[in-house]
Structures are given as C-alpha cells and as structure tokens.
Structure 1
Amino acid sequence: MLLLPLLALLLPPRALASPLSRAHTSAYSIKESLPAPPPGWAHHSPAPPDHPLRLRIGLTQPRFGELEQALWDVSTPGSDRYGLHLGKEDVEELIRPHEDSLALVDAWLEEHGIPLSALSRSPAQDWVTLTLPVSLAEALLDTTYHVYRHTPSGDYLVRTLQYSLPAHLHAHVDVVQPSTTFARLAPKRSTLHGAPVALASASTPAIPASCNHTITPACLKEIYNVGAYVPSATSGNKLGIAGYLEEWANMNDTNWFYQDLLPQAAAAGYMFSVELINNGTNSQNESDAGGEANLDVQYAGGVSFPIPNIYYSTGGSPPFTPDLNTPTDSNEPYAEFLAYMLAKTDKELPRSLTTSYGDDEQTVPYSYAVRVCNEFAQLGARGVSVMFSSGDGGVGDGLGPNDQADGPTTCLTNDGKNTSSFLAGFPASCPYVTAVGGTYHESPERAVPFSGGGFSKYFPRPLYQAAAVGGYLAANPAYLSLYEGLFNPFGRAYPDVSAQSNNFTVNLGGQFVLEAGTSASCPTFTGIISLVNDKLITSGRPALGFLNPWLYTVGHYGFNDITIGNNPGCFTDGFNATVGWDPVTGWGTPDFAKIAKIVVPY
C-alpha cells in the first residue's frame, strides 16, 4: 500500500464528507488506553510526523458467535458435523461486518480527506488497511504517537498509549493498530552450543540413551512411536511453518542436515518451499541463516518427510530506526500473515501450521488479542491445526525461588499498579490454538524447567478443558492460596500438549549446533500431527483441524503422560507436572501409533 497522495492529505477535513458521515458525526472518546508502557519499554522521542504507519482497522463481526459454534461443531467428536470443515466463503460470510459499520467507517475516513480508493479491504470486509503518515494518523485517532525503546533488546516501536474514536463508531470498530500493542514477537529458542557437535552415523540404529544428550529426527520418531510409517507426498496434505523478523531458512544447511540425519530425504531432493508475505525475504547467504528458521524447517521436515512443507516468511516487522527518515513501518506481522493465510483458497491452506514466536499476553491489548485469536478460529473452522510454542519462561521469567535477577523483575502487571503476577504467553493463551510445552530426557520423559504454562488473564477457560483443568486445580488446592493473585484460576489454561525441546541438533551456517526451547517442541509436535493427518486423508477422512476439542475428549488417550518436573518463574517453583493434564506439559507427548488407532480404528 502506497502512502496516500499528497493532494488527498491536504484536502480540508470535511471536503469529502458524505451526508451519512455528517449525520453521524460525534465527539471523540477514548477507545483504548494504557497507563504506561509495558515493563522494559521507555519513551524515546516524538514520532516523526512523516513516518508511515500501515494502519489496520478491525470492524466488528456481529456473527462471530455463529462461527465459534460452527468451530465447536466441526471439531468435537460425536457432533453430527464433526470433520465437516467450513469453506473460505462460509467463514467470510460469518465474519462480515454489518453494512452500517462499513458505511460509517468509510464516511469517517472520507471526512479526514482519505479517499476510499486508498483503502485495502480483507475478503470479508472486516479489516480496512491504509498507509498514512503519523501526522494524519494522529488526527484520525485524536492521539499522539511516540517512539518507544525496548531496553533489553534495543528495539524501537512507534506507538501511542491511547487512541480515540468518534463515539458513534465505538460499536462498529473493534480495534485500530498499530497503536497500543507493544508485543515483540520473540522466537522461543536459544543456542546451547555454538561449537560443532559430533554426530553418530544416520545409519546407526537409534539408541534410547543417546537421545538424552542430543535430539535428532530418528530420536523423535523412536520416542514418539512413529515406527516405519511412511506418509504420502501427494495426498494434498501440507505443513506450514511461520517465520518472522528476517529469520531466514537456509536450504543448503537443511540439505546438509538431511544428508547426515535423514539421508532418504536428501536422496529424494526433499526441501521446503517458500512463500513471501508483505515484502518478506528469505536470503540464502550462509551468513544470514537463522537459528530459529533452520530449527523449524529441519525438524518439521525431519519428522514429516515426505509431506510438503512451506516456509512463510513475513516482512513488515520491527525494528524501527528513530534516527533515520526510514520508509519502514512498524506494523505487527501477525496481522499481515493472517490476512495472507485467510485469503488462500481451501486447497492452498496447509493442514497443520507451526509458529515458534510469541510474547507476554499483557503486551498485546485485549481488543487486539481477541481479534488475532478470532482469526485463528477462522483457520480452525477451515480445517487447519494451529500450533504455538508455549514459551520459555515457565510461569513468567524462568527464575526460581533461589535465583538472582540480572535486573528489575518483569513479573509485574502493566495496568499502572505494578502488581506481582505470573505472565501468560500469547498467542499460546488463545483458546483456538494448540499450545505446545516442552520436555526432555526419555525413559522417563519429564517436563523441561523452561516449559511455558499457566492461565490466561484475557480468555476464560473454554468448555472443552473445564473438566481437565478443574480437576487439576481440585487435586492441587494449595496453588490457589500459595499463588493467590498471581494467576487467574478461571482463565484458559495452557499448554495443551508438549514434546521434546532440549539439545536439538541443528545445522546452522554449515555446522551442527545444539538448540533448545519450545521453538523445538512446536515443529516436532506439528510434524507428528501432519503424519496423523496423512493417515486420515489417505484413509478418505478429513484432517483433524482444530485439535483441542478432540484432544480433551478422546485424543489424550494417545499421549504419554508426563508426571515429573515443574516450570519455575517469578521467583517461584511454578506448577508441577502430574497425572493427567497439567499447566507444564498439558496432556503430555504424542504416541503416533496410539493416535493413529484412535483416528482410524479400522
């Protein structure tokens, strides 16, 4: 989207006003506000007036309740509609705004000299996108934008602490961003060892003890009971991998990875394909190889080979450089990625999707979190299993009761009260995605201490997990008093599942290194689900789609229960893994053979 033509920006505010807009003009009132920047963010300077913002206006979706009911129906075993996923047009009809909303928002924009020809609209008309300078955005939203700096990373964002809308538009507009969102979309991984790692021959039979020290695709297939199962490469099943922040997936590194650890894939010329979103790139310079991207593609492909894998590289992300008059905007790439995916035809969509990025829930304004979460519901209704890493900070910052912090604690609310609090992760806390926690070791497999887990403060506990989560809290009543005020016991609980997440052997820059994080468990679990979808599709059945209603009713019987470990954070021990579901490892880790028998019993 090009910056609005100068002539249009110089028009008097009411030069293009329609009779409808004049009839509905009303005073501005605050739509959304923050008392202060989230912890770790500080004011840097006023935003340059000519800095371009790619503004997205989310119109209300009056029929979303019908879409949500359809999602439950097509995702819940025993329902007459189970597996009958909705098509693109069906979903768009259910989220389309009311005609009055469309007309009133158009009139408001015209009042500010913005021609309708400058707007871009989503297929369902529920998002309006336009690129305009900060000065015009400030007039449109009755606000002032500033540059904020994230002290730990040095990243910058152009944001505001509040914005307003004409009073008559509040019922028609859910959210306007970028405005009050400070999420950084951080990858959930860390490099453990930069030095080359010695590998056993790929032809060596898998030895369980070796998998306690280094994880390879062979380890994962053994631990999760894949056996000799070989999926189809041509059934139409696809696995998607979301990438952001100029994390580039390197094909040479991946080919070397396959040569050493999955030679049959290398011999077949197996490789992920790439789709670029919002001016995204995927540099193949060896020095540009991304640790997160390589981890994702090598293990998603390593588990699911020969199922086609697609790496989606989304541009449009921070950092913004405040000292330069740069044309780079600072929009949240989630919005661009979701717009791209939802515009795809049903045939083009992957059946499973892994994302290893996220941030603290409280850095995402409630209204925006709900809209993003609702878009994941749309993907689920169309038959896509959406997985997210649960995070790497346990219940907050990963610090146990005996640890020392390097700086001020981050386990504080950003509501202006600075109250001690566990920090839920988003989008893992969205009830329409499957959150993947972490484990390590095997025989027995146990919770890795950094496994993100807990309870959302934004989203209430969904019905599908009422019995499991209620049972956990009833069996562990001490948490309600010990952690009183630190978490919301009535919130959506996560993770839902888990998988290995430590000591993953990754080829990066031509060398094998070890990496860890729920960034590793998420593509691993997604690879297993892609195998399950293959089993279903080749048996003439629909793919699983949104997993959680299935998972919490019958699917969990195909999982290995993890009962050892905890997830410390915020100077506490966090929660304990235990029999059944728990907020450290969810239902545990997948057993492919057991799951296959559940979904295709004959």
Structure 2
Amino acid sequence: MRSLAVYLAALAFGSAVLAAPKGCAHKVKETVVPPRGWTKAAPAPADHTIELRIGLPQPNFAELERHLYEVSNPFHERYGAHLTKEEVEALIAPHPESIQVVDEWLLSHGLSPEDLSRSPAQDWVKIEVPVRLAEKMLDTEYHVWVHEASGESLVRTTSYSLPENLHEHVDLVQPTTLFSTFKKMRSTARFSKTTPPVPVASAPPISDPTASGGKVDASCNETITITCLKQLYNAVGFTPSSKNGNKIGVTGYLGQFANLADFELFNEDQLPEAANATFNVVSVNGGQNDQDPDDAGDEADLDVQFAFGLTFPTPATFFTTAGSPPFIPDELTTSNSNEPYTEWLDFILEDPNPPQTISTSYADDEQTVPVSFAQRVCNGFAQLGARGVSLTFSSGDGGVGDGDPDPATQECISNDGRNVTRFIPLFPPSCPFVTAVGGTIHIPETAVDFSGGGFSNVFARPAYQDILVPEFLSKLAPGTFEGLFNPNGRAIPDVAAQADLFKVFIGGEAFLIGGTSAASPTFAGIVSLLNGARISSGLPPLGFLNPLIYAIGAIDPSAFNDITVGNNPGCGTQGFNATKGWDAVTGLGTPNFGRLKEIVTLDFIGLELNIGGTSVTL
C-alpha cells in the first residue's frame, strides 16, 4: 500500500517517482560559525516538528530590480508605474525544472503534495516535518541552543547539506542556521502613571523657520505629542482624505498587543476630533490582540497611536503576527514559532491590496542573520516596493553598537569566527529596499545618542547613495574607525524623526516613551500624508522611497531639516557625528512635510528643474 501511495503522489506532482539519483552524494550547502552567546544544550527531540522553508532560486530577480528602480526613480519616464501583484510574481517565479527537482526530492522522502504549501510565485515551499526526517533530508543534526543572556531557546544546526543535484535549484533551507532573535526596539518608559506638569506651558513658542508658522510650542521640548510633530514637521492644517484609497499599517510581533481603550484615551488627550476613531486588526498566522489592560504592549501602543494619530482619518491597520520566544523544547510544541517575521512577509506578499505605507519597529543584529536568508527577505521587500508600498524600519537603539542601549556594556564582537570588534548594523534596516529611520530629540533638533547608524556588512552601497554617502565618508579623518565598519556597505539611516519623550497611553496610564521605535511610525505617518496628497491629485503612491528622497536631498535640501549636532556612541567609541548633508546618525534629516508635499504632488515627467545652474527636463 505504501508504494501505491507514493506512486499516486508522484502522479499528482506531474512526474514519475524519482528519488535522488543513485550516487548523488550530499554536499554542504551552508555553514555558520556557532554564534556568540548561544550554547549547544542537547540534541533536538526527534519528534519535534519544524516547518522547513525551502527557497527556490528567483532567476529573473535582476529584472524585477530593474523595474523597481525605474518605477521608483523620479527622473525616469516610468516613475510611479508600479507593477501588479501578478506581474511581480511572474518575475520572481523559479524555473519549472527547479520546481520539478525539488518536488522529486521531497517525494523521495515520502512527502506528498498534500503535505506542502507554496507561495503564489512558487519560489517558496513550506513543509512540516519531524526533526528526525529533517536531519535525514539535510544530512545534519539539530540541537537545542540556549541564548545565555535571555534564556531563549532555538532548535538549529550550524551546517546542512543537500544532494549535489539540488544545489542549483535551492537557494536556502530554514530554519537551519538562522539564530536571529527578531526583537522590538528597546522602548523605555521614562515616567510612570502620568507625565508630570510641564512648567514651560506658558513660555513663548520656540522659533523654528521650517516649522508650521515658524514656531513650535515650548512644551514640545519636554513632551512630544501629535501637535508637536505636526508643528515641527510643517504639517499643520493638512487633513488627508479617508475615501481616496490611501491606507497605513503598522506591524506587531512577539505578543505586542495594541489596546483599543488606550487608543481612545490617546485620541481624547491629543486628537479630540478622532475621539471615536479605531483601526482594523488583521491576524497573521493566528496572531491575537488581547485587550486586557495588563497585556497592552508599549511598542504596539506607541506605533498605532502616533502613526494613526498623525494620519487620521486615513484607514489604518494593525497587523498582529503570532510567534513569540522563548521556545520551550521540553514542551514539544507543534512548531518552533520563533520566526514570526517571515510569516508576516508571506502574508503581505499574498495581499492583493496592502497599505501603501507600513512601519516596523522590530529588527535584529545583521550578523545573526545568514546572508542567504537576509537576501531573500530583502528581495521580498523589493517586491512590495515594486507594487507601490513604502516600508519604514527603526534604525536601532544602540548607536553603532549591538542593540544594548548602554554603550559601556556593548561587546560588538564579530560573529565570523575572528572575534574582532566591529560596529553592528541591524537587519532589516540594512536592506537597501527599505527606508531606515534614525532618531532626533528636542527643538532645535539634535541627534539622539541612541540613534542606530552605520554600514551594512551584507549589502553593498546602492546607487542612490553614491553621491551623498561618499561625501560623508570624505569628511572623516583618515583612519577613523578603521576596520570597524564597511565603508562600501549600504549606509543607514536614510532619514530621521523625533525619537524620545513621546506621550503614550499604555494600560490606561500615560507614559513618556523613547526609541527609534517612535521615529519609524512618525516618519511613516508623514509618508502616508504625502501618499494621501498624491492619490487625491490623481498620482500613484510613492512606493519605494529611497531613490526619490536621495534625489530630493541632493537637489532641494530644504525638503529635509538637516541635523548637524550629536553623535551615536557605541562599541567603546563616540560613534559617527551628525554633520551637514547625509550622515550615519540622522541620514538626510527630518521631514519638512509642506515642502515635500509641494514636490511630490508635481507630475515629475516633463518637469524642468535647475540643478547646479543647469536646466534639466525630466
């Protein structure tokens, strides 16, 4: 009966029963150095179920990338002509031969078509298997690894193999070598109960020539509110349409729940016209949004209150994705769900109509993410950008360091086996297809000292940074931080926004919150307002932002408030300095919504610009 079942399964696959060719030995596909801070505890339970994600090659990704840059480049005739979901999927689809060879391999291990699921483009195959079968398929041994600092556990291996004939047909298999512990930014509650009285309430406004009306309330140097952000970023008086199709979203992970009662309190306090407003909650992979006040998440409440408060009445969505460490291997749970982020990416790529702007305040040290995995996730962001989605990510709260907010305790040791000191950028902010947002504080704005910034060790510098980033590097004294960073890497952050002293309601009480976790939803809110203005003008959404914002930064510096004071210490150094132009602390600076709105509501094609004294027609 077993042979008959396998034969019928093969017919369903559309091929004969084909096991791996005789004599086709396994060959190592990927190996990583055991990561610092993780200890091998015990062999993984043989019956423990893991969900293998098999990534098939995307042979036409370079073509997708070409489309992405053409539709995102304001100087190109195709600017704004975003691709459809179906067009993107056609460009990333694997060769039929790859699909067939992988199917045959799975079939040779007794797995039927009913056991697996595929992404719409068929570039990912997912299948749940017990550890004992995964070890046989990958010629490896899984172990339970324990993170010494947090106590979190993962079932992982440091090396796996595939039959030689599969190597050209499989990019990666995970979870195998991925030790990333995707986490929220380190928001910190500065005060409990309620914010203290602000003694400068009657003080004269702060003069700021780029702010709305040229001034900002004095209280904004003590407490950041929606009013402060609208004043500071020149957005007073603009109300977006709620009916033009524009939408904004924020993501939530790791048991971070957005409390609706807190959202009401926030609006009553800061935005009375939105007193009865709410937001959609979309569950991903069984994600919950517990409304017990004791379970209200600081990160989730911060994100929804400021992103959705800035953009009211734009329709808003909170994506809550299941999966939260620590995994307890002794419980033999049905699956190891420490990797919720890929579940959200799968979900949003399948959504035919995602929000045009999405903010995320979660990341991990880039060096904990295998290069193959980082590249595939980054490719997923490119797909969203090509479809017209703008993605913002917090740049990090450890300066140039490893995420620890105390520069004095950062180890900043490389994970490549050399154990040398290196600056530690974060991923996904280091992906060149997203917009990384650093942080500022006070008015006039200065760089906040925890603002994450630096240079990727995985991704090369993209072309859109080839003018402004080398200018910054040229200002560094010879030998500055030599060997500590990759000067040819993708530079972060791209932009910045206020990142401290945000008044947030959590569990029914008011707190002041800090972190670039505040900067990302703030900048995303400004982007969503720009999208609303464009859509109401009959123009497409902005989509992938970076080619546009770097072009604007080079041509019209008034569109961003240049931050020239401050630095981001870490790894036993003072970090980089904020300086004129782009810098590795605040990027291009903070947004001037009024000026940006004037720019982005123009039809760029056919527009005449004066660049360096030369007239240029787009």
Band of TM-score, shorter chain: over 0.9
Corresponding residue of 2:213: none
Deviation at 1:410, TM superposition (A): 2.9
Deviations 1:9-67 (A, max 9, x none): x989x99994554448721111111121x222222222111111111111000000000
Q: Percent identity?
A: 53
User: Residue type matched to 2:399 in 1?
Assistant: G
Corresponding residue of 1:591: 592
Corresponding residue of 1:496: 494
1:378 aligned onto 2:376: no
- TM (norm. structure 1) is 0.93
Deviations 1:164-205 (A, max 9, x none): 11111111111111111111111112222233214679x999
Residues 403, 599 of structure 1: CA spacing in aligned structure 2 closer, same or farther, 3 A cutoff? Answer: closer
Alignment of 1:306-321 (within 5 A): 306-321=313-328
Residues 167, 230 of structure 1: CA spacing in aligned structure 2 closer, same or farther, 3 A cutoff? Answer: same
Corresponding residue of 1:356: 361
1:465 aligned onto 2:465: yes
Give the conservation status (yes or no) of the 8 Å contact 2:139–2:161: yes
Q: Could you say what the CA RMSD is over the residues aligned between the two structures, in angstroms?
A: 2.3
Which structure 2 residue ranges, 5 or more long, are not aligned?
206-215, 604-618
Residues 87, 601 of structure 1: CA spacing in aligned structure 2 closer, same or farther, 3 A cutoff? Answer: closer
Corresponding residue of 2:136: 139
User: Residue type matched to 1:374 in 2?
Assistant: N
Q: Counterpart of 2:497 in 1: which secondary structure?
A: strand
CA distance in 2, matches of 1:572, 1:410: 12
CA distance in 2, matches of 1:19, 1:113: 10
CA distance in 1, matches of 2:462, 2:43: 42
Give the conservation status (yes or no) of the 8 Å contact 1:175–1:368: yes
Which structure 1 residue ranges, 5 or more long, are not aligned?
1-6
Corresponding residue of 1:578: 579
Q: Counterpart of 1:323 in 2: which secondary structure?
A: helix
User: Residue type matched to 1:343 in 2?
Assistant: E
Corresponding residue of 1:539: 537
Residues 300, 186 of structure 1: CA spacing in aligned structure 2 closer, same or farther, 3 A cutoff? Answer: same
Q: Counterpart of 1:359 in 2: which secondary structure?
A: strand
User: Residue type matched to 2:513 in 1?
Assistant: E
Q: Counterpart of 1:499 in 2: which secondary structure?
A: strand
Give the conservation status (yes or no) of the 8 Å contact 2:407–2:571: no
Give the conservation status (yes or no) of the 8 Å contact 2:50–2:334: no
Residues 521, 20 of structure 1: CA spacing in aligned structure 2 closer, same or farther, 3 A cutoff? Answer: same
Residues 254, 199 of structure 1: CA spacing in aligned structure 2 closer, same or farther, 3 A cutoff? Answer: farther
Give the conservation status (yes or no) of the 8 Å contact 1:316–1:328: no
Give the conservation status (yes or no) of the 8 Å contact 1:398–1:570: no
Corresponding residue of 2:99: 102
CA distance in 1, matches of 2:313, 2:439: 25
CA distance in 1, matches of 2:220, 2:176: 46
- TM (norm. structure 2) is 0.90
Residues 507, 361 of structure 1: CA spacing in aligned structure 2 closer, same or farther, 3 A cutoff? Answer: same
Give the conservation status (yes or no) of the 8 Å contact 2:357–2:389: yes
CA distance in 2, matches of 1:403, 1:320: 29
Corresponding residue of 1:216: 225
User: Residue type matched to 1:356 in 2?
Assistant: S
Count residues with an aligned counterpart. Answer: 581
User: Residue type matched to 1:153 in 2?
Assistant: S
User: Residue type matched to 1:194 in 2?
Assistant: S
CA distance in 2, matches of 1:117, 1:549: 43
CA distance in 2, matches of 1:253, 1:199: 20
User: Residue type matched to 1:217 in 2?
Assistant: I
CA distance in 1, matches of 2:18, 2:471: 54
User: Residue type matched to 1:190 in 2?
Assistant: T
Give the conservation status (yes or no) of the 8 Å contact 2:257–2:288: yes
User: Residue type matched to 1:334 in 2?
Assistant: Y
1:263 aligned onto 2:272: yes
Give the conservation status (yes or no) of the 8 Å contact 1:317–1:330: yes
Give the conservation status (yes or no) of the 8 Å contact 2:37–2:147: yes
Residues 240, 15 of structure 1: CA spacing in aligned structure 2 closer, same or farther, 3 A cutoff? Answer: closer
1:280 aligned onto 2:287: yes
CA distance in 1, matches of 2:20, 2:178: 31
Corresponding residue of 1:181: 178
CA distance in 2, matches of 1:177, 1:447: 38
Corresponding residue of 2:393: 388
Residues 39, 52 of structure 1: CA spacing in aligned structure 2 closer, same or farther, 3 A cutoff? Answer: same
CA distance in 2, matches of 1:539, 1:196: 42
CA distance in 1, matches of 2:53, 2:274: 42
Residues 200, 531 of structure 1: CA spacing in aligned structure 2 closer, same or farther, 3 A cutoff? Answer: farther
Deviations 1:208-237 (A, max 9, x none): 321111111111111111011010011110
CA distance in 2, matches of 1:124, 1:389: 29
Given candidates 127, 135, 153, the residue that maps to 1:130 is 127
Deviation at 1:332, TM superposition (A): 1.5
CA distance in 1, matches of 2:219, 2:514: 16
Corresponding residue of 1:153: 150
Residues 317, 467 of structure 1: CA spacing in aligned structure 2 closer, same or farther, 3 A cutoff? Answer: same
CA distance in 2, matches of 1:78, 1:247: 41
Corresponding residue of 2:347: 340
CA distance in 1, matches of 2:404, 2:472: 23
Q: Counterpart of 1:296 in 2: which secondary structure?
A: helix
Corresponding residue of 1:246: 255
1:53 aligned onto 2:53: no
Moved more, 370-379 or 277-286: 277-286
Give the conservation status (yes or no) of the 8 Å contact 2:54–2:173: yes
Corresponding residue of 2:613: none
Deviations 1:488-528 (A, max 9, x none): 00000010000000011110010001111110000000000
CA distance in 1, matches of 2:18, 2:361: 45
